[in-house]
């Protein structure tokens, strides 16, 4: 998957620094990943935190995935530009339809959980994510597959 987009994890600004929190930049924690589109976050950070902590700004349409603990494999699509904590990895897709990647990652969740390493809080790394293989049909086929998946989900509701 490393060749389908730009992958990067976030960071947590130092909690003790009051100059870092209460701003207007969205900062998402993995517990907020909702397997849907994310438009807002519980916490906001300042421009200073963004600059000092070298945070990645995830663009609208980016795909987010949780890498740690009980949330491994939880997903979201970015609906409004945001940053994330270090337990979350974002992908700005180059050659893949973002919703196709989203559903592929959703289908791969059990595989990611099995690949998780560590004791109390197993995790997958960015490296493991980008080394994961993805079938990549032509873009029109990706969109057709997504449309079919969404039709099936609608029938469930």
* Interval 65-79: pLDDT, tens: 999 988 999 999 999
Which residue segment(s) compose the domain that 120 sits in? 5-156
**3-state SS record for the chain:** CCCCEEEEECCCCCCCCHHHEEEEEEEECHHHCCCEEECCCCEEECHHHHHHCCCCCECCCCEEEECEHHHCCCEEEECCCEEECCCEEEEEECCCCHHHHHHHHHHCHHHHHHHCECCCCCECCHHHHHHCCCCCCCHHHHHHHHHHHHHHHHHHC
CA distance 144 to 3: 22
Predicted confidence (pLDDT) per residue in 5-53, tens digit? 999 999 999 999 999 999 999 999 999 999 999 999 999 999 999 999 9
**Average pLDDT value for residue range 55-72:** 95
- The DSSP annotation for 63-88 comes to EEEE-BGGGTT-EEEESS-BEE-TTE
Residue 133's CATH number:
3.90.220.20
Number of separate domains in the chain: 1
């Amino acid at each position: 998957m490393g060749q389908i987009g730009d992958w990067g994890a976030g960071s947590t600004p130092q909690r003790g620094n009051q100059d870092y929190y209460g701003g207007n930049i969205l900062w998402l924690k993995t517990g907020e990943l909702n397997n849907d589109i994310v438009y807002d976050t519980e916490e906001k950070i300042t421009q200073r935190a963004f600059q000092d902590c070298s945070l990645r700004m995830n663009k609208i349409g980016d795909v987010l995935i949780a890498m740690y603990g009980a949330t491994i494999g939880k997903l979201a699509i970015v609906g409004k530009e945001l940053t994330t904590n270090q337990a979350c990895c974002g992908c700005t897709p180059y050659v893949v339809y973002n919703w196709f990647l989203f559903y592929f990652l959703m289908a791969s969740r059990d595989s990611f959980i099995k690949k998780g390493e560590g004791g109390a809080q197993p995790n997958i790394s960015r490296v493991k994510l980008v080394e994961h293989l993805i079938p990549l049909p032509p873009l029109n086929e990706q969109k057709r597959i997504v449309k079919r998946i969404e039709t099936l989900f609608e029938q469930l509701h």
